[in-house]
Each structure stands twice: as structure tokens, then as C-alpha cells.
Amino acid sequence: MSEARPTDSRNAILGKLRAGRDAHPLTPPESDFTVLRDKRWAPSERLDRIKTMMEAVHTEFLETTEADWPTAVQDFLKAQGTRTLLYGTATEAGQRLAASWTEGGPELVPYDGPVETFKERLFDGIDAGITTTLGAIADTGSLIVWPTPEEPRLMSLVPHMHLALLRADQLYDTFWQAMTENRWADGMPTNALLISGPSKTADIEQTLAYGVHGPKRLVVVVIR
């Protein structure tokens, strides 16, 4: 393939679109976002709604407090028989988790190198991963997760169980509200996610099955 061809295609496509549009300009109707702006829940109702919606798609909830959450997580995982927990060492949450971790709990595995050095273990030897969230959305029952160098993208995807820390005061009404209030458009991260349950499929005769490619279980750790 010559180097010139892609540029030719670009100019041909844009030229044709411009000619088509200029011959028949289109005046779109106004975009009225009122329907999203008006979707509101009382602050006290948001978490209940999030729980109801996410539990409907098999999400589990663990209620705890700021002081107790590392212990609550450890107790929960012990009871589940979890052997390994992937965590980010450099986040405040990760440091607290490590500081309060006691003998007899699952092994804490840091995600501290590039995935290339770690892929085999990540895919074969990790039971659970724990990440923070940027809050949750009442409208759809969704967690907002922005992976970072400290909490890489695959932490919430590859381990069989994903634990997500949610602060009970970080709740939004709608996806639209979360992105406009926090001015996401000013700078999007490498990857931004909404996560609304464990991985699922209905591709075999419309029968719902959980844990097809991503986590089989999603556990939201609610911190009050």
C-alpha cells in the first residue's frame, strides 16, 4: 500500500461529505437535556436505588464504616475462601488495607509492574481484585471507575471477583449529572468505566448467565 492512498481517502471522504452537506444543509432540533436534568432522587433514596438495581443483576453489597472496612473486607474474603487479593499499593486505600491486613487472610498481591511481567499470574493465579470508585449512579445502578497507574485497568476485569469501594456520600443521580458536574469533558482519562454488575451474557437462548469473560462476582463495599 502506498503512503499516499490513506490521505487520498481522507480527503475524498471529507470532501464528499462537505459537498453533500453544503448542497442540503440540515438544521437539527435543539437538544433539550431537561429530561436528564430533572431525574433526581432524594439523597437518602439514592443508595437504596443503587442497591436494588445492582442486586437485580447479581451484585453483592457489603456494608461497613470508614474505620472498619479493611477488616470487613478481610473477614468477608476469608469466609469466601479467597486465596489471593490483587490491590494497588500506592493508593490510600491500598495502604490502609496492607497496614491492617492480618495473618491468615488471603495473600495480598500488589499490581506493581507492567502487565507483561505479570500476565500469567493475573489470568491464572488471582481470585479477587479490589479497587476504589469515583462514586455511583442512582439512575442506572452503576459504579464509576477510572483506572489509574496505581489501580490499573485489568484489576477490575480479570480476577474472578471484583471488590469495589464505594463511599456512601459519593452518589449521583444520573451519568449525565456525574460527567457534567465533574467536567469530564475537560480531560478524559485513558480509560473511564461504568460498571453495573458482574460480567454476564444472554447469548445462549436468552438465558442469563453470569461470569462469562469478566468477574463472576461484583462486591460493592459501601463505606459510611
Partner 1 sequence: MGETSVNFAKASTTALQDPQLRANFRRAMDGLMSKRAVQFADSKEWNAVRALGASVRLRALSKLPELLEKLEANCTRNGIQVHWASTTDEANAIVLSIMQRVNAKLVVKGKSMVSEEMHLNAFLEQHGIESLESDLGEYIVQLDEAMPSHIIMPAIHMNTKQIAHLFKQKIKEAEYTEDVAQLTDLARRVLRKKFATADVGISGVNMAVAETGTLCLVENEGNGRMSTTVPPVHIAVMGLEKVVEKLEDVPPVISLLTRSATAQPITTYVNMISSPRKEGEKDGPREIHLVILDNGRSSIYADEELRNTLRCIRCGACMNHCPVYTKVGGHAYEAPYPGPIGSILVPQMEGLAKRGELPHACTMCNACVEICPVKIPIVEIMGRLRAEAVHPGDSVKGAGSRASKAEAMVWKGWSMTYASPLAYRFATGLLAKLGNAAPTSLPLLKEWTNVRAKPRFASRTLHDLAREKGIPDV
Task: Please report, as residue ranges, which positions from 150 to 179 form the binding site for partner 1 (by CB under 8 A).
Answer: 152-154, 157, 174-176, 179
Residues 193-222 that bind partner 1 (CB under 8 A): 193-207, 209, 211-215
Cross-strand pairs, 136: 143, 171
Residues 70-99 that bind partner 1 (CB under 8 A): none
Shortest spacing between CB 102 and partner 1, in angstroms: 27
97: left (phi over 0), alpha (psi -120 to 50) or beta: alpha
Nearer to partner 1, 104 or 113 (CB): 113
The number of beta carbons lying within 10 Å of the beta carbon of residue 42 is 9
- Cα separation, 192 vs 148, whole angstroms: 10
Nearer to partner 1, 30 or 103 (CB): 30
Q: Does 3 bind partner 1 (CB under 8 A)?
A: no
Q: Are 94 and 122 in contact (CB under 8 A)?
A: no
Residues 100-119 that bind partner 1 (CB under 8 A): 111-115, 119
Nearer to partner 1, 70 or 122 (CB): 122
SS3 116: helix
- Cα separation, 181 vs 178, whole angstroms: 6
Shortest spacing between CB 197 and partner 1, in angstroms: 5
Scanning 33-41, 72-80, 92-100, 101-109 for contacts with partner 1 by CB under 8 A, the matching segment is 33-41
- Cα separation, 119 vs 161, whole angstroms: 17
Nearer to partner 1, 98 or 212 (CB): 212
| Residue 208 burial class via C-beta count within 10 angstroms: exposed 0-12, middle 13-18, buried 19 and up | exposed
Q: Does 131 bind partner 1 (CB under 8 A)?
A: no
Cell numbers representing residue 97 in the block:
488495607
Nearer to partner 1, 98 or 208 (CB): 208
Q: Does 142 bind partner 1 (CB under 8 A)?
A: yes
